[in-house]
Amino acid sequence: MSTLTPPASPTTGDVPVGDAPSRTSWLADTLNVAVRELRPMLHEPANVLFAMVQPLVFLGLFAPLLPDVPGGTSALQWFVPGIVVMTALMGASMTGANLSEEMLTGSHERLLVSPLRRSSLMVGRAVKEVAPALAQTAIIVAVVTPFSFDLHPLGVLTGVAMLALFAVGIGSLSFALALVAGGEQWIFWTVQQTFLFPVLLLAGVLLPLEGAPTWLAVAADLNPVTYVVDAERALFAGQFPAADVLAGFAGAAAVAVLGLLVGLRAMRRSGTR
C-alpha cells in the first residue's frame, strides 16, 4: 500500500486547507483510491474464488430441483442470472467490513487527513466493487456454460454493464453503513444481514414470485433489485425487451445514485463527530 503524506493541516469535505500546489485532480485521487483498494484482491486472488463457494453451492443444490422453463428452456437459463445478481449484492454489501477494520486500526483516520478528497475516498472505494463483481460473473458463466446453459455474449456483456452500476451503489451503501456504525462490527453485520436476505427473496432470485400474495407482490414491485434480476434474465437469454432492460438499468442507477449520495454524505461527516 502506498504511503500517503498528510498535509500541514487536515481538510474537511473536498476543499483543501491552505496552499496545496501539488494537489492532484479529483479523477486522479479516485483512481489512486480504487487501485489501493484493488491491490489486496490482486495479491490474494484466492479470496475471489473463496467468495464463489456459496453461489456455486446454490447452483449445485437448487438448480437441479427447478423444473425447466416452459418451451424447453433449461432451468439454468432462469436461475443463473439471479445467482449472478445475488453474488454481486452479497459481495458488495460485505465490503464495508473492510472499512470497519480500517477504522479500528486507525488507517481510516490517516486517510482522512491525507491530501485525497473525501469524495474520492468514497467513489474510489465504490468503483473498486466493479472488479470482483465482473470476475465472479465470469467464473459463474464459465462453470455453467458446459452444461445446459446457452451463452449469449452480447446479452451477458450488457448485463455485466448493468451489474457494474448496481455493484457501485451497493458498495457505497455498505461503506456508508460502516461509517455510521463507527467501527462497531456487530452493528454493521446486524443491519447488513437484516436487509440482505429480504431484498434477495423479494427480487425472486431463488424462487419465482408469480402467484405471490398481493402484499408480497407489492413489496417486490418496490424493490429495485427485482427489476435488475428481471432484466438480467432477459439479457442472459439473448433477449432485449426495451421495457425490461430500461427498467433494469433504471433500478441499478437508482441504487447507484442513492448509494453514492448516502456514502458521500457519510464520508464528509466522517471524523467530525
Task: Go through 153-187 and write b for each residue having 16 or more CB atoms within 10 A of its CB, e for each that does not.
Answer: eebbebbbebbbbbbbbbbbbbbbbbbbbebeeee
Sequence-ordered list of residues with C-beta below 8 angstroms from that of 230, at least 6 positions apart, any chain: 204, 244, 247, 248
Query: In the chain, where are the structural domains located?
Result: 26-269
In angstroms, rounded to a whole number, what is the distance separating the alpha carbons of residues 83 and 62? 11
In angstroms, rounded to a whole number, what is the distance separating the alpha carbons of residues 245 and 33? 32
Q: pLDDT tens digits for 198-228? A: 998 899 888 888 878 899 989 999 999 999 9
pTM, entire model: 0.82
Per-position pLDDT tens, the chain of length 273: 444 444 444 444 444 433 343 457 888 888 888 888 888 777 776 666 677 777 888 888 877 777 766 665 678 888 899 999 999 998 888 888 888 888 888 777 787 777 778 788 888 888 888 888 888 899 899 988 888 888 999 999 999 999 999 999 999 999 999 988 887 888 899 999 899 989 988 998 888 888 788 999 899 999 999 999 999 999 999 999 999 999 999 999 999 999 999 988 888 877 544
pLDDT reported for residue 243: 95
Residue type, 167: A
* φ, ψ (nearest 5 deg) of residue 73: -75, 140
Instruction: Check if the beta carbon of residue 249 is closer than 8 Å to that of residue 165.
Output: yes
Q: pLDDT tens digits for 86-103? A: 999 988 888 888 888 888
Instruction: Check if the beta carbon of residue 107 is closer than 8 Å to that of residue 83.
Output: no
SS3 assignment, position 8:
coil
Instruction: Check if the beta carbon of residue 30 is closer than 8 Å to that of residue 125.
Output: no
